[in-house]
Structure 1
Amino acid sequence: MDIGVLLPTGTAQWGAADPRELVAFGRHAERSGFSSLFVNDSLISPRIEALTMLAALAPVTEAVTLGTAALLPFLRRPIQAAQSLASIDLLSGGRLTVTVGAGFPGRFGRPLYALSELPWERRFARLDETVALWRALWDGADAFHGEILRFDDIPPTTRPFRAGGPPVWLGGATPAALARTGRLYDGWLPYPPDPADYASGLRTVHKAAADAGRATEDITAALFVSVRIDEDIESGRRALDDYARVTYAMPLEELEKIQAVVTGSADQVLDHLGRYATAGARHVVARLGALDLPSQRDQLERLADLIPAVQPAAGTK
């Protein structure tokens, strides 16, 4: 199981620190053995813009995957987003992975669509068409005719490093999202609180892929999870409760009903992540439960110590 880390790009996570230290944070994570660096995307809370952060990391990292978790395409003009993503893929030498989402009800959904001057209705169809448009542009298309997006006489656009462009994953675990992942996407990045729900969802993704004539091994099974390594579960939960209240304006007991949360001692965290591995997860994107950059670094070091236990030794499977 690969272990990646979500960079603390929100001001609530880096606090009074110089935000340029996030580049050094990412470089240190790569040297510490993390296999990927992900960023999230929003207009609700102040943060470093997702694609800007990845562009800054592309030339100063070497092998680590650079990803979004999740990018909200409706916040951007679709052809401009395709250009930006292809550029990052070029600058990184083909290390970009793009997880996308359509937003959620509440303050993370409708208000953002209003600010983007787009309708909330048919948002999932718009998302799928946007990804289809990107892939067409990355293959050199000069026109695109969907039900929602239609473009003619498209001038030559930036081609990504890899033929066909970077892999595109979908975030979400509704029945419709599972089916769409299997049919259309290269990976799945949900955050179900229960490993059993992860296993069930992955089976549905695989069935949809098989029904569409796709190989299930071509779909990366990933997991987005908040992680806090502490002295014990009780102290970890206290820290994560502070994190949840600052980040989501809700207590931990509400957040963990909808998102995967793992805390406790190193052994307890390792055991819990192992349950997701047994359920089929092969790439973890860990959000570190800390509210300033020094604490983020401390959690990064603690999680890095677990990497040898979840990754096979060289030459083994």
Structure 2
Amino acid sequence: MDIGVLLPTGIAAGAGDDPRELIAFGRTAEGFGLSSLFVNDSLISPRIEALTMLAALAATTATATLGTGALLPFLRRPIQAAQALASIDLLSGGRLAVAVGAGFPGRFGRPFYTLSEVPWQRRFARLDETVALWRALWAGATEFHGEFFRYDDIPPATQPFRAGGPPIWLGGATPAALVRTGRGYDGWLPYPPDPADYAAGLLEIHKAATDAGRATGAITPALFVTALIDEDEDRAGRQIEQYATTTYGMPLTELNKIQAVVAGSPDRVRAAVNQYIDAGARHIVVRLGGLGLRSQHQQLERVASLVPAWRHHAALLP
């Protein structure tokens, strides 16, 4: 059972905090026993660029998995991205995990495509082909001929630490995303607000994997969840409401419809995450619902205190 944390790269870049403190934040999380350090990838607000942050962590941490949650490949030229990812995998000694996504409608997706000069249409097919190109490069391919990308005489690419490259997970929980995960990805990183939906989605992924001749155990079932811990339930409710409106510009009631969010006492948060563990999640990535690095550090300590209980709960499952 792995428990990781999302680093607040946007907070440190845009709210007056020293972004260099993110390196200490990652080292502290690793010291608390968290399994992974994730970063997200976005153009919504000022933030430390995702792969730059992971490169810094590769040199300053020793054991934690370094992950993206999720990387948006269309923001980068695909061969350059393959080079950067292979380099981070090398520098970290094979600790990279790459969750990818194609973006979402509204301000979370289409404007980014315009800025990247990439068409919004057929974005999922483009994403799958980008991943196929990366894997081909990491396997030593010198040419690639697909629908979106065609290259001849590719120079030798930087080879990652691990043969075949880092594992690539898919974010998303639409029916099509579930099938694509089962057929071709190494992990799944969704954030469904209902644990029952997580369980149902994982069953669909396993079915698609079996139909494709893949072992279901080769696919890491992960979860992205926002959590805020406070013994004072009323205060926790106010704080997570503020987090929702500040981060997404929407009330908590709306955010709860699309994302896994839990706030309250340690017992409440522990029990809520246990439901996802019961549903099959085995790598939890926690986004801390604090505004500002001071609040993030406080929440990090509280989440870390629950890690042994979550691991114990998972160990008791059949």
Report the counterpart of residue 176 of structure 1 in structure 2.
Answer: 176
Report the counterpart of residue 67 of structure 2 in structure 1.
Answer: 67
- Note the C-alpha offset of 1:12: 6.9
Q: What SS does the corresponding residue of 1:246 show, helix, strand or coil?
A: helix
What does 1:295-310 align with in structure 2 at a 5 Å threshold?
A: 295-310=295-310
Report the counterpart of residue 279 of structure 2 in structure 1.
Answer: 279
Q: Is the 8 A contact 1:13 1:292 kept in 2?
A: no
Report the counterpart of residue 16 of structure 2 in structure 1.
Answer: 16
Report the counterpart of residue 2 of structure 1 in structure 2.
Answer: 2
| Structure 1: distance between partners of 2:59 and 2:239 | 34
| Structure 2: distance between partners of 1:90 and 1:161 | 5
Q: What SS does the corresponding residue of 1:142 show, helix, strand or coil?
A: coil
| Structure 2: distance between partners of 1:66 and 1:303 | 18
Report the counterpart of residue 128 of structure 2 in structure 1.
Answer: 128
Moved more, 188-197 or 6-15: 6-15
Report the counterpart of residue 268 of structure 1 in structure 2.
Answer: 268
Structure 1 residues 206, 48: closer, same or farther in 2, change over 3 A?
Answer: same
| Structure 1: distance between partners of 2:98 and 2:274 | 25
Residue 53 of structure 1 aligns with an amino acid whose one-letter code is M
Q: What SS does the corresponding residue of 1:33 show, helix, strand or coil?
A: coil
Residue 252 of structure 2 aligns with an amino acid whose one-letter code is L
| Structure 2: distance between partners of 1:280 and 1:204 | 12
Q: What SS does the corresponding residue of 1:181 show, helix, strand or coil?
A: helix
- Note the C-alpha offset of 1:13: 8.1
What does 1:29-108 align with in structure 2 at a 5 Å threshold?
A: 29-108=29-108
Report the counterpart of residue 212 of structure 2 in structure 1.
Answer: 212
| Structure 2: distance between partners of 1:167 and 1:221 | 12
Q: What SS does the corresponding residue of 2:52 show, helix, strand or coil?
A: helix
CA RMSD of aligned residues (A): 1.5
- Note the C-alpha offset of 1:316: 9.4
| Structure 2: distance between partners of 1:165 and 1:262 | 34
Q: What SS does the corresponding residue of 1:10 show, helix, strand or coil?
A: helix
The answer for unaligned runs of 5 or more in structure 1 is none
Structure 1 residues 316, 259: closer, same or farther in 2, change over 3 A?
Answer: closer
Report the counterpart of residue 291 of structure 1 in structure 2.
Answer: 291
- Note the C-alpha offset of 1:108: 1.0
- Note the C-alpha offset of 1:16: 2.1
Structure 1 residues 13, 47: closer, same or farther in 2, change over 3 A?
Answer: closer
What does 1:106-125 align with in structure 2 at a 5 Å threshold?
A: 106-125=106-125
| Structure 2: distance between partners of 1:12 and 1:193 | 27
How many residues in Structure 1 have an aligned counterpart in Structure 2? 316
| Structure 2: distance between partners of 1:14 and 1:21 | 13
| Structure 2: distance between partners of 1:26 and 1:130 | 29
Q: Is the 8 A contact 1:30 1:36 kept in 2?
A: yes
| Structure 2: distance between partners of 1:316 and 1:276 | 14
Give the TM-score normalised by the residue count of structure 1.
0.97
Give the TM-score normalised by the residue count of structure 2.
0.97
Structure 1 residues 265, 304: closer, same or farther in 2, change over 3 A?
Answer: same
| Structure 1: distance between partners of 2:279 and 2:16 | 39
Residue 161 of structure 2 aligns with an amino acid whose one-letter code is F
- Note the C-alpha offset of 1:44: 1.6
Q: Is the 8 A contact 1:12 1:291 kept in 2?
A: no
Structure 1 residues 223, 285: closer, same or farther in 2, change over 3 A?
Answer: same
